[in-house]
Amino acid sequence: MGEPKFSRPKFDTPSHPWKAARIEEEHAIKAQHGLKNMREIWKAKSQLRRHRRQAMRLIGMVDTSEGHGRKEMEDLLRSLNNKGLIQSDASLDDILSLGTEDILNRRLQAQVYYKGLAATMKQARQLVNHGLICIGDQKVTIPSYPVSRDEEELIKYHPSSDLNNPEHAIRKAIEGRREKAEYAVDEVDPEATPEFAAEVKEAAEAAPSVEEAGGDE
């Protein structure tokens, strides 16, 4: 049963932790998405496994064209569409074709990068961690925050941040690095240097909080 006051992990760890192929694959995903550790990949895999299990159970039902089965299928498709994982006209088969990276691409860190607010995934993580990114009027400092489809267009720099100025040094650095953002696998991402980290931290400290700006955090 376990200790009642301690919650159980909401993800599954690998059943065979020393498989070379899996380790190599996860290291590649970790580097590509600028993740902090393998646990973030395991969480995505566990979430994907749950979605697939639901889809397979519904596919195996005798009839999902009416009644409770149809409602459950529609609820699942609507939920995953709202999460940005499938399109509005998707079917249960489309859920089975989802991969781990589809889950990881919905993280705030990834969405910041895809919207051009950061030069690389690691840089996006730094900006989120330092409170320089918000969704609408809400500052979000959790890189793994799952961005819904409705929230995609609301991602921006914090309104009180100097990064809203296109002439800001970090903005210029981001634009320049995005133009030449193809790095070799063994290269060190430029934004990961101590100098750039110091720049981001300084900008974050200089930016007033939401409370000081009169907004809601």
- Are 127 and 208 members of one domain? yes
Residues 100 and 112 grouped into a single domain? no
The reply to whether 100 and 115 lie within a common domain is: no
Indicate the residue among 72, 104, 136 that finishes a domain. 104
- Residue range(s) defining the domain that contains residue 26: 20-104
Q: Which of 57, 73, 104 is the last residue of a domain?
A: 104
pLDDT class of 5 with cuts at 50, 70, 90: low
pLDDT at position 125: 94
Domain assignment of residue 9, yes or no: no
5: in domain? no
Residue 66, pLDDT > 80, answer: no
Q: Please say whether the beta carbons of 146 and 82 come within 8 A.
A: no
Split into its structural domains, the chain has a count of 2
What is the average pLDDT value for the chain, to the nearest integer?
A: 82
How far is residue 41's CA from residue 46's CA, in Å, rounded to a whole number? 9
What pLDDT digit, counting tens, does each position of 187-200 carry?
A: 445 455 566 666 66
Provide the CATH number for the domain around residue 130.
3.10.290
pLDDT at 172: 82
Q: pLDDT at residue 65 above 60?
A: yes
pLDDT per residue as tens digits for the range 76-95: 999 999 999 999 999 999 99
What would the mean pLDDT of 49-75 be, rounded to a whole number?
A: 87
Q: What pLDDT score was predicted for residue 195?
A: 62
Look up the pTM and report it.
Answer: 0.75
138 CB-near residues (< 8 Å, 6+ apart): 216, 217
